[in-house]
Amino acid sequence: MQITKTVPTIDQIMSVYSGKKNHCCCGCAGKHTTASAHRELRSARRGYAITDDEVSDRSVKTIYNKVLAAINTNEPSVKFDGDYISYENDTRLYILYIAK
């Protein structure tokens, strides 16, 4: 399967993750945050409601901009996986989950 390396717009980002590098992404070493426009979709995919404290367009935009900057500078740790894009720096892992 060919993975497309198309950079999504901010409006296409359903949720983001920011956590410690070299840890799992369950939320024990970081935080998942949902974009308000995709709250219902993420709730449906997760199987239970997204609460108000899990929604922040500001946090989504901040992490989106970090990953976008890494893409624009051709950082080798950026990975495109179809449903998400991840980026690791020296200490953190950032993930953009794409709404489809």
pLDDT tens-digit map of 36-95: 999 999 999 999 999 999 999 999 999 999 999 999 999 999 999 989 999 999 999 999
| Residue 2 pLDDT > 60 | no
Q: Are strands 13-20 and 79-80 parallel, antiparallel or unpaired?
A: unpaired
Question: Angle at the Cα of 96 (from 57 to 54), degrees rounded to 5?
Answer: 40
Closest CA to 10 of 50, 68, 51: 68
Position 6 scores a pLDDT of: 87
**CA dist., res. 44 & res. 62, Å (int):** 25
Per the structure block, which two tokens stand in for 70?
């890494």
Closest CA to 42 of 17, 21, 64: 17
Q: What are phi and psi of 53, to 5 degrees?
A: -75, -5
| Residue 4 pLDDT > 80 | no
Position 5 scores a pLDDT of: 84
- pTM greater than 0.85: yes
Position 3 scores a pLDDT of: 64
Per the structure block, which two tokens stand in for 33?
């945050």
